[in-house]
Structure 1
Amino acid sequence: MDQPGEKTIHPNPAGMKVLVIHCAYGHSGGEDSVVREEMELLRNQGVEVQLLGFDNNRHKMRDLLLLPFNFFSYSRVRRACRRFKPDLAHVHNTHFAGSGSVFAALKKSNLPFVATLHNYRLLCPSAILYNNGQLFLDSVNSAFPWKAIREKVYRNSMLLTAWLAIGNKINRAMGLYTLPAKYIVLTSFAKNIFNRSSVSIPDEKIVVKPNFVTDRGSKPATRNSDFLFIGRLTEDKGIPVLLEAFAGSPHRVRIAGDGPLRPMVEKYAKQHANIEYLGHVTPGVAGELLSTASALVFPSNWYEGMPMTIIEAFAAGCPVIASDLGAMHAMITDGVNGKHFNPGEAASLSRALDQWSAMDVHTQSIYGKEARAIYEKLYSPEENARQLMAIYSDTLHPD
């Protein structure tokens, strides 16, 4: 399991000002939530924060054409630096309205900055290293992702994939990816991927800092025997594997979420009494479900960045049964705070469900206590604030 190394805590410089830069996705997703929560965390630490946001839907065609270097975005960043006069900048997503011009503008403004790598877009146009139902790793060590272009890994378009690849290549050639003082990745697994990739980022520039969720408290509750899935209903999230494992199973599962595979989920729910589809649920309802479920099932087929649902489960004292892959491998210790199964294998998931259900309630509760303990140790707002302020201070005052 990931446990970020202890670092010397530097005092928060009085009146620190941080410019946060982020391109919002077309649909609000996990990264957008992380940015909002992290900004609030900084404000609670007494940091003055300003968001420079880019909207990928506002000037879609123009920004797409300027993807290699967006002069409009460059000018916006320069103006924000002059007006706000920040001490440092924290860059999140630059795809695609921001582009590599964000890094260039911060350099021109003589402003130190860090960048969080929420996904693998720096390495592959797919961003998630997944395509056509399987992991796609060919771009990780390639100087140019020819195979990714042929396989149309971005929105099933050869043209769009090629344009992203060209933009990435231009940014690399310009040396833009060497400019951040620090890159923040979410797990040691992600750090290893970037370390062995064709992107030349010095090891000392990559630091591990996980995401966090607000603590709603782990309420003592009587847990039922139902399993729970919360997330987008997509193939890469492992929905077909989940449904196959529970079809005809003696175990019950409640599925919350929405997405392209909703018709498939609804069909299975009608055919199998042990599969219940709840539709989209609010964060509050999701929290209640996590507080009473026997365990969360997380059957994702790709590496993931850092699933917020898993952190939410830990915060609620809910163990997690997940694919033994990527971030899930890093976050979950089999036999401690959850169980692993072989990615993409419904039979393996079925065995894990059987093993879990065969445990007595007391043993299951120990797993839950361990899940809560790891939340408090690694994923709480307090611990995240400590790590983030240390990164900022090291950026402003390098040894």
Structure 2
Amino acid sequence: MPTLLAVNNYHYRRDGSEAVFFDHAYLFRQAGWEVVPFSMQHPSNLPSPWADFFVSEVEFGRVYSLPQKLVRIPKVIYSLEARRNLGRLLDRVRPEICHCHSIYHHLSPSILGLLKRRGIPVVMTLHDLKLACPAYHMFNRGAVCERCKGGRLHELLLGRCIKGSLALSTIVAAEAVLHGLLHSYRDHVDRFIVPCRHYLEKLVEWGWDRERFVHIPNFVDPLGYLPDPRPGSAFLYFGRLSPEKGLTTLIEAAAKAGVCVQLAGDGPQRDALQALAETLHADVQFLGRLEGDALHAAVRSSRATVLPAVWYENAPISVLESYALAKPVIGADIGGLSELILHDQTGALVPSGCSDTLAATLRRFAELPDTRIAEMGRAGRALVETRYSPASYFNAVEGLYDDLVRTG
């Protein structure tokens, strides 16, 4: 039985990257692999027989005492604990391959050199643009930001790019400098998987070698989604309520179009969005955070889902989930969204940040015959069943693993 070492900061379904992490592990377990996780300890973690090897919690959003902060700062930059614990784990198991997902700041890239020395090929899925932008998103002060390009890391401090904090931004800048000097990613990761071509091209533009990347789209299992192409009347956004998602644009568009918009999720922008909706007298309903069947029900009852991003979206699982539930998607033409949404076939693309065009599109979708909306929903479902299926994803990733093990 081959063994896969699966590495991710969190061991619970926290966000889209964790969904990929767990679904990836499930696919390989179903195919007969032993999957050994390595993560951070956290109160929300799912149980694992390997939890004793997990590293202690580091959480930027948590309040720590001064001694706790002083202990955690070095771990964010270079975690000796993570190296030590992973070393103990590798004394117990010998994986054929290691697949990393999100490791920054919590596990840290300190583990990559150890894996290389143990002769274990390393694959890393890029859920963000951290390889180029220390703040992950190439987004700051409400807009796309590429000021760090060319090694101008002082821009990270000037822009206070990490949670608006000079202290946190300084720590992350130090991390970026150290791992750049150590070549932690360049020398110790064999291949990077990019779920969208836009990220591949952006990283090449920032100086990375094209041959280091493999484009493998994300997937969802359509068997886990009960589709209903019958259109509702409201438009739905589901996900994090934060500035990069373009939700102020959506609320402005809803007010201009006179349509009902529902927001399912929570995040730092919720209060500001509620105030904006009240000011504009927009018909916006805040549903709170929904998961599982409740979220699926909300998507099924919508007319279309909307993702009005103003940053370089990667390959959002929310688009594929909408398709799996037979709903069209209206999205901004930025990042990987333009690769997922087929204009006037599975939804519509609109200019990022333009509330007027988004309003016109919402009005158009509200007025389209239900049969046309349902047709686009069924086209999205067909796309998930073919191009973004578990089988397509598994075959591509296993093929990559085989190549690396054979040539390693």
Deviation for aligned residue 1:64:
2.4
Corresponding position of 1:102: 111
Q: 2:84 aligns with which of 75, 84, 87?
A: 75
Mapped contact 1:45–1:385 kept (Cα < 8 A):
no
Mapped contact 1:144–1:169 kept (Cα < 8 A):
no
CA 1:159–1:273 in 2, change beyond 3 Å: closer, same or farther?
A: closer
Q: Structure 1 stretches of 5 or more lacking a match?
A: 1-14
Q: 1:25 and 1:132 mapped to 2: Cα distance? A: 31
Which deviates further from its counterpart, 264-273 or 47-56?
264-273
Deviation for aligned residue 1:252:
1.8
Superposed, 1:278-293 pairs within 5 Å as 278-293=287-302
Q: 2:39 and 2:140 mapped to 1: Cα distance? A: 29
Deviation for aligned residue 1:156:
1.3
Deviation for aligned residue 1:326:
0.4
Q: 2:2 and 2:13 mapped to 1: Cα distance? A: 31
Count how many residue pairs are aligned between Structure 1 and Structure 2.
382
Q: 1:51 and 1:320 mapped to 2: Cα distance? A: 34
Task: Report the 3-state secondary structure (helix = DSSP H, G, I; strand = E; otherwise coil) of the residue aligned with 1:147.
Answer: helix
Mapped contact 2:257–2:362 kept (Cα < 8 A):
no
RMSD after superposition = 2.2
2:249 matches 1:241? yes
Q: 2:204 aligns with which of 188, 195, 209?
A: 195
Deviation for aligned residue 1:88:
1.1
Task: Report the 3-state secondary structure (helix = DSSP H, G, I; strand = E; otherwise coil) of the residue aligned with 1:247.
Answer: helix
2:183 matches 1:175? yes
Corresponding position of 2:142: 133
Q: 1:291 and 1:347 mapped to 2: Cα distance? A: 26
2:373 matches 1:364? yes
Q: 1:40 and 1:61 mapped to 2: Cα distance? A: 37
Q: 2:70 and 2:193 mapped to 1: Cα distance? A: 30
Q: Structure 2 stretches of 5 or more lacking a match?
A: 42-56, 60-67
Deviation for aligned residue 1:296:
0.4
Mapped contact 1:299–1:344 kept (Cα < 8 A):
yes
Corresponding position of 2:37: 51
Mapped contact 2:200–2:215 kept (Cα < 8 A):
yes
Question: 4+ runs of 1 displaced by more than 6 Å?
Answer: none
Q: 1:67 and 1:232 mapped to 2: Cα distance? A: 24
CA 1:390–1:26 in 2, change beyond 3 Å: closer, same or farther?
A: closer
* 1:127-180 deviations in Å (ceiling 9; x for gaps): 0110010001122x3224221221111121233223222222221222221221
Deviation for aligned residue 1:248:
5.2
Q: 2:315 and 2:122 mapped to 1: Cα distance? A: 22
Corresponding position of 2:14: 28
Mapped contact 2:256–2:356 kept (Cα < 8 A):
no
CA 1:143–1:267 in 2, change beyond 3 Å: closer, same or farther?
A: closer
Report the AA paired with residue 213 of structure 1: V
Which deviates further from its counterpart, 74-83 or 102-111?
74-83
Deviation for aligned residue 1:184:
0.8
Which deviates further from its counterpart, 282-291 or 61-70?
61-70
Deviation for aligned residue 1:358:
3.2
Corresponding position of 2:271: 263
Corresponding position of 2:220: 213
Q: 1:333 and 1:254 mapped to 2: Cα distance? A: 23
Higher relative contact order, structure no. (Cα contacts within 8 Å, ≥ 6 residues apart)? 1
CA 1:162–1:316 in 2, change beyond 3 Å: closer, same or farther?
A: same
Deviation for aligned residue 1:66:
3.7
Superposed, 1:335-354 pairs within 5 Å as 335-354=344-363
Deviation for aligned residue 1:295:
0.7
Report the AA paired with residue 364 of structure 2: Q
Mapped contact 2:196–2:336 kept (Cα < 8 A):
yes
Superposed, 1:87-166 pairs within 5 Å as 87-139=96-148, 141-166=149-174
CA 1:318–1:62 in 2, change beyond 3 Å: closer, same or farther?
A: same
Q: 1:373 and 1:221 mapped to 2: Cα distance? A: 12
Mapped contact 2:58–2:72 kept (Cα < 8 A):
no
Mapped contact 2:241–2:268 kept (Cα < 8 A):
yes
Q: 1:53 and 1:375 mapped to 2: Cα distance? A: 30
Task: Report the 3-state secondary structure (helix = DSSP H, G, I; strand = E; otherwise coil) of the residue aligned with 1:322.
Answer: strand
Which deviates further from its counterpart, 179-188 or 63-72?
63-72
Report the AA paired with residue 317 of structure 1: A
Superposed, 1:7-22 pairs within 5 Å as 15-22=1-8
Report the AA paired with residue 302 of structure 1: W
Corresponding position of 1:253: 261
Deviation for aligned residue 1:33:
2.3
Q: 1:170 and 1:217 mapped to 2: Cα distance? A: 44
Mapped contact 2:194–2:214 kept (Cα < 8 A):
yes
Corresponding position of 1:186: 195
Aligned sequence identity (%): 24
